[in-house]
Structure 1
Amino acid sequence: MTDTRSPAATLLAHAGGVRGLIHTALPVTVFAATSAVAGLVPAVAAAVGVAVVILVWQLVRRASTRPALFGFAGVLVCAGLAFVTGQARDFYLPGIWMYLGMAIAFTVSVLIRRPLVGVVWARVTGRDDSWRAIRRARLAFAAVTVVMALVSWTRFFVQYHLYESNQAELLAIARVAMGWPLFAVTSSLIYLAIRTAIRAVPQRERVAGT
């Protein structure tokens, strides 16, 4: 059956949709709030508990469990690291390194002229790499990939500084504040880049066919 969703909706669906993004943010928020009020061990238990509830709820609904499974595994890694070290700030360390990895990936993809946002868009929508030959599409994806790189570098440097200075409370606030608000901005820019590419690709094809 043909997928009638827009490319932007397809990309969002691969992230689990809006519900999946909320499910990803909930355990982190619960850990931060519980840690500030009750300490590390209750916070670890609360975060893992929320992740379990989300996973079970997805199973009951017979919805796609991939985002919930990835989220659950991520929470286990973060919570396990914090529990072993006895430091609440270590709950955020895997995420900090993830931001570094994303920053490097976005940056390198632009330098080698294969902007990652465009590559992912083509893959999840079943397209080839012909968009790279179209200047307008290539520039749109390069621009939004540069933005993604800057956002990832900012997240990494800010949160790593707070981690190194042992400011767990501010680190928790930064993780939440640099999550949904920045996602709203970057997702809007990605949507605009996709619209630009969609308009440019057929135009190039029509010109080539004349």
Structure 2
Amino acid sequence: MPVAGPGAATDAGAARGLRAVTQEEFSALGALGGVRGVVESVVPGLLFVVVYLAAGQQLTPALVSSAAAAVLAVVVRLVQRTPPTQAFSGVVGVGIGVLWAWRTGQAEDYFLYGLYVNAAYLAGTMLSVLVGWPLVGLVAGLFDKQGPLAGGSWSAAVAWRQDAALRRRYAWATWPWVALFALRLLVQVPFYLGGEVAWLGTAKLVMGVPLTAVALWLSWMLVRGSAAPRAPSRPRPDR
């Protein structure tokens, strides 16, 4: 999710997404992509629900307004020559939802792609913990100062696995994401199955940006809040 607005000067350089858990200081707004990123994430879905209800549950106006908002976000970024990556990802998600709902004629199918994505994320994050490669640890390793994304080595990116305490910490820091995706499905799937478009859209908005910010903060607290992660322990040389 990307940004401008209050605090833009500070948030412009803030690490976004899960990378934020590796920082010494945590900025929820920066991690979410700033004000602009939050707006780009929320507006298409909000417009869909509002227009759908205002138009007497007519699907076409809701789909057009949602798609137009997502496309406009990309166009504005391209015109302003700012990174459009987040806006592009939003267009893909909205586009799939629009096409799905248009094809079936069912308004609730606009949200079906998001449910599948959350199910995939739930399976992926839980599996990462169970097999001993927690997602937060993988992200932290990739963005480590000696990791591959900083010009270092892949071996440095997974060095944390040699430290049992650090491995446990990263596992605990991944569980908020498992809980987030599970909670979304637990609440939203019944609304989808019941065709409750207004409630489904509201739940998606409430459990989107706000809960993502909470999960990011919890992960950051577990990784950095109590104590900075220690470098993997190495055997002392013989004297």
8 Å Cα contact 1:163/1:171 also seen in 2: yes
Q: Which residue number in structure 2 is paired with residue 8 of structure 1?
A: 20
**Gaps in structure 2 of 5+ consecutive residues:** 1-12, 148-155
Q: In 2 relative to 1, CA 133–79 (structure 1 residues): closer, same or farther, beyond 3 Å?
A: same
Q: Given that residues 15 and 21 in structure 1 are in contact (C-alpha distance below 8 angstroms), is that contact kept between their aligned partners in structure 2?
A: no
Question: Structure 1: which amino acid aligns with 2:92?
Answer: A
Q: 2:124 aligns with which of 105, 108, 113?
A: 105
TM-score (norm 1): 0.86
Residue matched to 1:132: 161
Which SS does the other structure have where 2:230 is aligned?
Answer: helix
Could you tell me which runs of 5 or more consecutive residues in structure 1 were left unpaired when the two chains were aligned: none
Does the aligned pair in 1 maintain the 2:22–2:223 contact within 8 Å? no
Aligned counterpart in structure 2 of residue 22 of structure 1, from 27, 39, 42:
39
Instruction: Report the AA paired with residue 31 of structure 1.
Output: F
Superposed CA offset, 1:84-106 (max 9, x none): 11111000000001110000001
* Conserved? CA contact 1:40–1:88, under 8 Å: yes
What is the rounded CA distance, in whole Å, between the counterparts of 2:125 and 2:162 in structure 1? 20
User: Equivalent residue for 2:178?
Assistant: 149
- Aligned-residue RMSD, C-alpha: 2.9
- Counterparts of 1:1-210 in structure 2 under 5 Å? 8=20, 17-18=33-34, 19-38=36-55, 39-125=58-144, 126=147, 127-195=156-224, 199-202=228-231, 204=233
Could you tell me how far 1:189 is from its partner in structure 2?
1.2
Percent of aligned pairs with the same amino acid:
28
Amino acid at match of 2:45: V
Amino acid at match of 1:73: V
Task: Give 3-state SS (helix, strand or coil) of 1:201's partner.
Answer: coil
Shift of the alpha carbon at 1:151? 1.3
Task: Give 3-state SS (helix, strand or coil) of 2:128's partner.
Answer: helix
- Structure 2 contact 128–135 (Cα < 8 Å) conserved: yes
Contact 1:78/1:93 (<8 A) preserved: yes
Shift of 1:129: 0.6
Cα separation, partners in 2 of 1:13 and 1:170, compared to 1, 3 Å: closer
Deviations 1:39-82 (A, max 9, x none): 21111010011011100111112111111111111111101111
Q: In 2 relative to 1, CA 5–181 (structure 1 residues): closer, same or farther, beyond 3 Å?
A: closer
- 157-166 vs 15-24, which deviates more? 15-24
Instruction: Answer 1 or 2: which has greater helix percent.
Output: 1
Cα offset, 1:149, TM superposition: 0.7
**Between Structure 1 and Structure 2, how many residues are aligned?**
206
- Letter aligned with residue 199 of structure 1: A
**Deviations, residues 94-148 of structure 1 (Å, cap 9, x unaligned):** 0001110000001111110111121122224435111122233222211121221
CA distance in 2: counterparts of 1:149 and 1:160, whole angstroms: 16
CA distance in 1, matches of 2:185, 2:69: 25
Give SS of 2:195's match. Answer: coil
Q: Distance in 2 between matches of 1:73 and 1:80?
A: 11
Alpha-carbon distance in 2 for matches of 1:209, 1:192: 34
Moved more, 15-24 or 104-113: 15-24
TM-score (norm 2): 0.76
